[in-house]
Amino acid sequence: MCFWGVRGGIACPGPDTVRYGGNTACIAVRCGGDTLIFDAGTGIRPLGAALIKHAPVAADIFFSHTGFERISGVPFFAAAYNPKNTFRFWANQLPGGKGVHGALTRLMADPVFPVPIEIMAATLEFVDFGAGETLQPTSDIRVRTAQLNRSIPVTGYRVEWQGKSLCYVSDLVAGSDGTEPAVLALLDNADLAIVNLAQDASDSADWHGNLGLCDKAAVKTCVISHHDPDHDDAALDAIAAEAERLRPGTVVAREGLTITL
């Protein structure tokens, strides 16, 4: 897997974020010849530039939610403009929502964006599911899902392939707002779990709680991502040191980080 964007909220390029990166959430996971992409923040732009060199390509893109920070990179995903490529977009269908196709259509429409999604020449598919369903993007990849929180609807994912398991539980809120039994079932004995930092730079409770959930679930390795845009490189260095003290082996994600299970 490779991290193409590690920020939450808004992209934050600049001299103080060079080492960890400033793009918003995007992670690419390779399972043999298949590619799964989690979230399409601004980090999907450089990912698209890399993929376009290898056309034809196909990938499944899973959204933790369809808020702006998680979909803002879609219009700039160069690989989606190549007719040789195929992409399938997945998101949890919330009550009263218009689904993932509706969210992306509204994003790529006046006055937000000058051209519609139909200009993308790749073959595009759109799949809505209910949190809690198990998805099968290919015959040998299983993706389990769960709603992570009560008041902030966010979908967590667990990828299972060839005996390995990876969880992506960004925007997870531990404690009273979290759906802890569902989260623990999703995390159970995972080889690796990607969890989020707190959005308030002064509050460590969120990510401390998330590491605690990983302990309860016997997760082997934790990766902290979705960094506060106000956290510069020095602040993330300090968090990395504290995370190593609390749970040795914990990784603080940075753009370009590649991990092989």
* pLDDT tens string 126-151: 999 999 999 999 999 999 999 988 77
Sorted by where each starts, the structural domains of the chain and their CATH numbers stand as 2-252 (3.60.15.10)
User: Is 38 a residue whose pLDDT tops 70?
Assistant: yes
| CA within 13 Å, CB half, 50 | 11
Radius of gyration of the chain (CA): 17
Residue of 140, 138, 199 lying closest to 172 (CA atoms) = 199
Q: What is the mean pLDDT of residues 158-167?
A: 98
- Predicted structure pTM score: 0.95
* pLDDT tens string 191-208: 999 998 755 444 555 678
Residue 101's pLDDT is 95
Residue of 62, 17, 44, 3 lying closest to 225 (CA atoms) = 3
Residue of 9, 37, 7 lying closest to 20 (CA atoms) = 7
Residue 95's pLDDT is 65
User: Is 250 a residue whose pLDDT tops 90?
Assistant: yes
| Other C-beta atoms lying within 10 Å of the C-beta of residue 34 | 16
The mean-pLDDT minimum among 97-101, 118-122, 158-162 falls in 97-101
* pLDDT tens string 48-76: 999 999 999 999 999 999 999 999 999 99
User: Is 44 a residue whose pLDDT tops 50?
Assistant: yes
Share the mean pLDDT of the chain.
Answer: 92
Could you give the C-alpha distances from 2 to 78, 88, 186, in angstroms and in order?
18, 19, 21
Task: Give 233's contacts (C-beta < 8 A, 6+ positions apart).
Answer: 16, 17, 18, 19, 20
User: Is 46 a residue whose pLDDT tops 50?
Assistant: yes
